[in-house]
Structure 1
Amino acid sequence: MERDVIRREVKSKDDFICFLTALMSDLQAHPDSWKNTDLTSFLRAMSSWVEDMGSFYLDESGNQKDITWQVFADMLSIARVYE
């Protein structure tokens, strides 16, 4: 899937924008491949995944990689009203 390739390459703001565009395009083109097509179920699934992600973001030494959670929270919060 194109969005999975793009997701692995996100290293900058522009990469993230490309990823979001690919994600939106994928939803429009293949809604049947999405389990969470409405905002409520999408956010619920996101919350559940964050709770369950465990060691997904550990580095090769077994330490938690630095993740700027505030950035994700800001993006999701601002997306509620941004046009």
Structure 2
Amino acid sequence: MDSLNDTTWVTTRADLVSCIRQLGQEAQAPSRGWENRSLDRYLEALSAWTNDMDSYFINRGEPVPESPDWGLIAVMLRAACFYE
């Protein structure tokens, strides 16, 4: 994996575990412009992005998922780092 912004590789539970671990490592020294560095801000952003995620998929020309999969959870967790 070249970038944590690329979550397309997350297709299994084991992949998601790896992604979460990598996010945790990055969170120790967030140098990639993280907006939400505290847990409360991160969780608020996660909630907001999850609520607004239809727009993300519509803007990308992709179908809005009806139910989550491992990849969508990874996208949600990554988006919460930056979502305002």
User: How many Å separate the matches in 2 of 1:47 and 1:56?
Assistant: 14
Give 1 or 2: higher helix fraction. Answer: 1
- Sequence identity (%): 23
1:9-60 per-position Cα deviation (integer Å, ceiling 9, x unaligned): 11000100111111111112325721111111111111111222224346xx
Structure 2, unmatched stretches of 5+, are: 74-84
How has the CA–CA distance of structure 1 residues 32 and 11 changed in structure 2, closer, same or farther, with 3 Å as cutoff? closer
The answer to which structure, 1 or 2, has the higher relative contact order (CA under 8 A, 6+ apart) is 2
Aligned to 2:13: 13
How has the CA–CA distance of structure 1 residues 57 and 67 changed in structure 2, closer, same or farther, with 3 Å as cutoff? farther
CA RMSD of aligned residues (A): 2.8
Q: TM-score, normalised by structure 1?
A: 0.60
Aligned to 2:25: 25
Larger Cα-atom Rg: 1
Q: TM-score, normalised by structure 2?
A: 0.59
Structure 1, unmatched stretches of 5+, are: 73-83
